[in-house]
Amino acid sequence: MSGGSDRAPVLVTGATGPHGGAVIAGLLEAGTAVRALTRDPSSERARALSSHGAEAVAGDMGDAASLVAAMAGVGAVYAVTTPFGAGTENEEMQGEQLIAAAEQAGVPWLILASVASAEQPTGVPHFESKRRIEERLRASSLPHTVVAPTYFYENLGDPRELIAGGELSLPLPPSQPLQQVALADLGRLVAALLHRREEFLGRRIEVAGDDPTPAAMASALAAAAGTPVAYRRRDLEEVAARSADLAAMFGFLAEVGYRVDLAGLRASFPELGFTPFEAWARRQLSG
């Protein structure tokens, strides 16, 4: 990790969530020291991270002083922000606080978690909030990299529940490819980045591991489970009734979709062997 000590820890925000947790797992697997930011280091999830070797530290996105303290002496920060729960304005506040704290703490490298396609106009609220955070980061004095994943396989929830219901339902055409990535693969990519700082400094990396259609996803789940799984296109209005943000996202994915250069990404990280959806489904249903 040139630009910072190879032994200096990486601070990960959103540590007790699926995204931050997957990055922590990837870093620990690679032998990297990890500092996990959490509001409550005594919580069950924080204690679980500590039991795997991470150092859980107290910090809150609304408390600038706690962020600066948590960043002291780190080699890098992996910054996860979220719009879900408090909204996109709050997410932008999180990004602003993290960037300002990193500048104050003299962080040698900030790796910002964003989302693929956020650099283009999409009309998706949480894509737009992440784009504005990226713009703020580029305007800062911080050495930085942006990691922008697509949809996560894990967004489907527990595949066993889908199998039990015999149906996969998404608000997408059955033949529309959906670029996705396994959370574990994202964590391993971030760990790999730490050894290639100079190469990726100032760059934006969009991340996907596969691009199955929803119909192919249903077939893969059926093959893994040995039982029929049908695909049903869900009405977008059903999603909108629950979340206008998610409805806008699926509308964008149905009409435009992510545009990650899968071949280029695989060529850049040949050692990662990104997990195809079929393999992920088999792994999830093998236990």
Q: Are 111 and 14 in contact (CB under 8 A)?
A: no
Q: Tokens for 11?
A: 């601070």
Residue 13 and residue 216: Cα distance in Å, rounded?
Answer: 34
* Mean pLDDT over the full length of the chain: 96
* pLDDT tens digits, one per residue of 240-270: 999 999 999 999 999 999 999 999 999 999 9
User: What sign for the dihedral angle of Cα 65, 68, 71, 77?
Assistant: positive
Is the entire prediction scored with pTM above 0.85? yes
Q: Where are the domains of the chain?
A: 10-151+181-208+259-270
pLDDT for the residue 5: 54
pLDDT (average), residues 11-31: 97
pLDDT confidence band for 7 (50 / 70 / 90): confident
pLDDT for the residue 84: 84
Q: What is the CATH number of domain 10-151+181-208+259-270?
A: 3.40.50.720
Q: Which residue has the higher pLDDT, 57 or 1?
A: 57
* pLDDT tens digits, one per residue of 168-184: 999 999 999 999 999 99
pLDDT for the residue 9: 98
Residue listed under structure tokens 């062997």: 273
pLDDT (average), residues 208-237: 97
pLDDT score of 26 more than 80: yes
pLDDT for the residue 75: 98
pLDDT confidence band for 278 (50 / 70 / 90): very high
pLDDT score of 85 more than 90: no
* pLDDT tens digits, one per residue of 105-157: 999 999 999 999 999 999 999 999 999 999 999 999 999 999 999 999 999 99
* Neighbour tally for 90: CB within 10 Å: 17
Nearest-CA neighbor of 99 among 60, 64, 56, 57? 64
pLDDT confidence band for 86 (50 / 70 / 90): confident
H and E: helices and strands count for the chain = 13, 11
pLDDT (average), residues 183-203: 98
pLDDT confidence band for 286 (50 / 70 / 90): confident
pLDDT confidence band for 224 (50 / 70 / 90): very high
